[in-house]
Amino acid sequence: MIYADNAATTKMSEKALETMVSLIKDTYGNPSSLYEFGQKSREVLEDARAKVAKAIGANPKEIIFTSGGSESDNQAILSAAKAGEAAGKKHIISSAFEHHAVLHTLNKLKKEGFEITLLDVHENGLIDPGEVEDAIKEDTCLVTIMFANNEIGTIEPIREIGEVCKKHGVTFHTDAVQAIGHIPVNVVDDNIDMLSASAHKFHGPKGVGFLYVRKGVRLFNLIEGGAQEKGKRAGTENVPGIAAMAVALEDAVSNLENYSKIVTAKRDRLIEGISDISHSALNGDAKKRLPGNVNFCFEGIEGESILLLLDDKGIAASSGSACTSGSLDPSHVLLAIGRVHDVAHGSLRLTIDESTTDEEVETIIASVKEVVEYLRGFSPVWRDLISGKREFIL
């Protein structure tokens, strides 16, 4: 199998796996127990916290372990909203192409009387910090903008947006699930108040993540119970998962430069090769994008068919077509960058990593070309396009 869906999830690193298995077997004490066996787990937990903090330039006290990106997003946004409401501020700024963990939380707040401004992400999938500043009002309590988009991979000007928020005294949260472990992130330099991350996106285990909360920013609980995580997140800590996340992150961050160089070159070859297909278009900015992300729209065909045929050829990929989501609308991300429905249905996301070989890259290119040509061969839409009955969009 050629695995080209690393934005969905990644393979656990050997080191993360070994760490996890060994802890499950031998270090199963509860970190809240006072005897030495429990305190051994406490040490592992705090060591992991220090590693995670170091990887993003934070203080260990500013790291809360969670179950993953969605929980972190929910807790960050709901906390900032609650703090805002107490101060009479009920306006939140975000973008139209956030992850659903953010958008659905904002929808919930909207029903509770919050005013939500969703900024335009423009054709290239990039948010303008100037537009963030223009949107800030007296009663803005939060700006939440993703670090990098999960579908089209565009990297947002986080540092500049953070600067704007700092200037206006507005809390700034970023969903960095796709960015952490893939591009440099430093919460101090990037002016970030709160940040969400998920271990399985950087070769760690599923069901583990963290939330960075800058000292002085108020945080409320989602889960009530024991005093774990300084009372901010109840529940016995997933020590093996957390420790595995920490080693995966440590490795990813120490290898960032090399990773970026190698994977970006493969990504650009993929983009170059797939661009040969007529009436296709790359989604999102060609350069300001994650090293491993390639996302295309092909006119005249539908995404799920592309995925099934690629699967037959042993290639695992993803699409923003409606048929892959179970809803009638295609990806909100593709619609947000201005792709019309007709074209958004025919999208393909390939997300590679450093284990993807040059040979695999060439196989992917050849397979995508073959599949697109085959499906266009019996598409009534394609027939109308080439006969001039319908106008090409791409």
Partner 1 sequence: MALYSEKVMDHFRNPRNVGVIEDANGIGEVGNAKCGDIMKMYLKIEDDIIKDVKFETFGCGSAIASSSMATELIKGKPVADAMKLTNEAVAEALDGLPDYKMHCSVLAEEAIKSALDDYHKRNGQ
Site residues, partner 1 (CB under 8 A): 300-305, 308-309, 312, 321-323, 326, 328, 330, 340-342, 345, 378-383
40 HSE (CA, 13 A, CB side) = 9
Whether the CB-CB separation of 297 and 345 falls below 8 Å is answered with no
Closest CA to 304 of 322, 290, 291, 289: 322
Single-letter residue type at 291: P
Q: Is 141 a catalytic residue?
A: no
Distance of alpha carbon 105 from alpha carbon 196, whole angstroms: 14
Three-state DSSP state, 293? strand
**Kind of pairing, strands 140-144 and 91-95?**
parallel
Distance of alpha carbon 311 from alpha carbon 303, whole angstroms: 12
Nearer of residues 208 and 301 to partner 1, judged by Cβ: 301
Residues 6+ apart with CB under 8 A from 149: 97, 125, 156, 178, 284, 333
CB of 6 to partner 1, least distance (A): 21
Closest CA to 224 of 214, 234, 209: 234
Whether the CB-CB separation of 221 and 80 falls below 8 Å is answered with no
CB of 341 to partner 1, least distance (A): 4
Whether the CB-CB separation of 195 and 56 falls below 8 Å is answered with yes
Whether the CB-CB separation of 212 and 192 falls below 8 Å is answered with yes
CB of 387 to partner 1, least distance (A): 11
Nearer of residues 168 and 383 to partner 1, judged by Cβ: 383
212 HSE (CA, 13 A, CB side) = 32
Nearer of residues 85 and 342 to partner 1, judged by Cβ: 342
CB of 345 to partner 1, least distance (A): 4
- The separation between CA 67 and the C-alpha centre of its own chain, rounded to angstroms, equals 15
Residues 6+ apart with CB under 8 A from 89: 138, 139, 140, 141
CB of 121 to partner 1, least distance (A): 21
- In angstroms, the Cα distances linking 134 to 93, 161, 248, 388 are 11, 11, 39, 44
Residues carrying an active site annotation: 323
